[in-house]
Structure formats: C-alpha cells, structure tokens
C-alpha cells in the first residue's frame, strides 16, 4: 500500500493579479503612513492603520484566509473568495462606524463640558451669581428677538410664591441688535 501525499496549499498565491498587487501596495502604504505619522496620530489610530495594512497584506498576498472563508462556505472560484472578503469587510466597516460614533460622542461631551465651563466662568466674572442668590432665575433665550423682548420682559412676574425673580436674557449672536 502506497501512502499518497496530500498536497498542501502554498501560503502564497500561484499568480499575482492586479487586484492582489493593488492590495499589497495599499497595505504597504497604510503601514508606511502609520509609521511616518506615529508622533502626530493617537496610538489607537496608529494601531488601527497598522493592523488594517497588515490585514490587507495578508488578504492580498497570501492564501491564509482561504481556510476561514471555507469555514463560512465561501469557496474558491466564481467570485466566492471576493464575496466572502466583502462580507467580512462590511462587518469590519460596521465596527469602524461604531468606533467613529463613539469617538464623536466623546468629543461632543468634551466640547460641551468646555463650553459650559467657559460660560460659568463668564457668568461668575460678571458677578451674576450674587444677583441671583436667594431668587428664582428666569432664563430667556432671545435669538433675533429685538422687537419682541420688551413685551416678554414686561410680562415676567416680579415674584413667584413669595420669592423674588431675576431675569437673564441670553443673546447668542443675534443680528438684530
């Protein structure tokens, strides 16, 4: 009985197509960009760029992902490999979108906190906390309300439930004076 050798797939593709070549070039460019800009980018961004470039090099320059794609029934031929890679790429893009949304929300919270801090500091420097101490503060936003604000202020009560009121009109960049 002769033992037949099972052919082992090569780790590198038999031919280097234009699509694979473009993937290798883009992967190398991503890694080079991450290394070049590592001092100006955040560590997470450098890591993300490096891993993306490495993943693109692995997908484009090797046959390693064929085992993973076969496990999900994406067989070689008839565009099965490309379709499988597209499905996984969509999943990765979804994760990246979630990350971008989280970063955007964090930036919005930080900006909001900074603006609130600046507003409080301006309010404090104008000695307004003393003016409102022991009183009910009525905050009136007035954007482009120059012709109506007088009527509105005249209707404000001088006191509510026996407590004096103070009115603060906030005008953020109105064009009507």
- The tens digit of pLDDT for each residue in 101-124 reads 999 999 999 999 999 999 899 989
Name the residue with tokens 């990350």: 99
Distance between CA atoms of 24 and 21, rounded to whole angstroms?
5
Rounded alpha-carbon distances, angstroms, from residue 145 to 139, 141, 154: 14, 9, 14
Domain ranges of the chain: 18-121, 128-170
Q: Please, what is the Cα angle at 75 between 71 and 76, to 5 degrees?
A: 135
Q: What is the pLDDT of residues 15-42, one digit of tens each?
A: 888 988 999 999 999 999 999 999 999 9
* CA–CA distances in Å: residue 33 to residues 9, 37, 47, 51, 101: 32, 6, 11, 12, 24
């Amino acid at each position: 009985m002769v033992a037949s050798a099972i052919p082992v797939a090569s780790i590198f593709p038999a031919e280097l197509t234009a699509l694979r070549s473009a993937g290798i070039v883009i992967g190398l460019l991503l890694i080079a960009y991450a290394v070049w800009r590592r001092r100006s980018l955040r560590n997470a961004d450098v890591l993300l760029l490096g891993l993306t470039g490495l993943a693109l090099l692995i997908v484009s320059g090797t046959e390693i992902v064929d085992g993973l794609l076969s496990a999900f029934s994406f067989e070689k031929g008839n565009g099965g490999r490309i379709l499988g890679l597209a499905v996984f790429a969509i999943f990765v893009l979804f994760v990246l979108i979630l990350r971008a949304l989280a970063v955007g929300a964090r930036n919005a919270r930080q900006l909001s906190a900074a603006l609130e801090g600046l507003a409080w500091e301006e309010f404090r420097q104008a000695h307004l906390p003393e003016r409102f101490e022991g009183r009910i503060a009525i905050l009136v936003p007035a954007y482009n309300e120059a012709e109506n604000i007088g009527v509105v202020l005249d209707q404000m009560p001088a006191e509510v439930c026996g407590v004096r009121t103070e009115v603060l009109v906030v005008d953020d960049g109105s064009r009507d004076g």
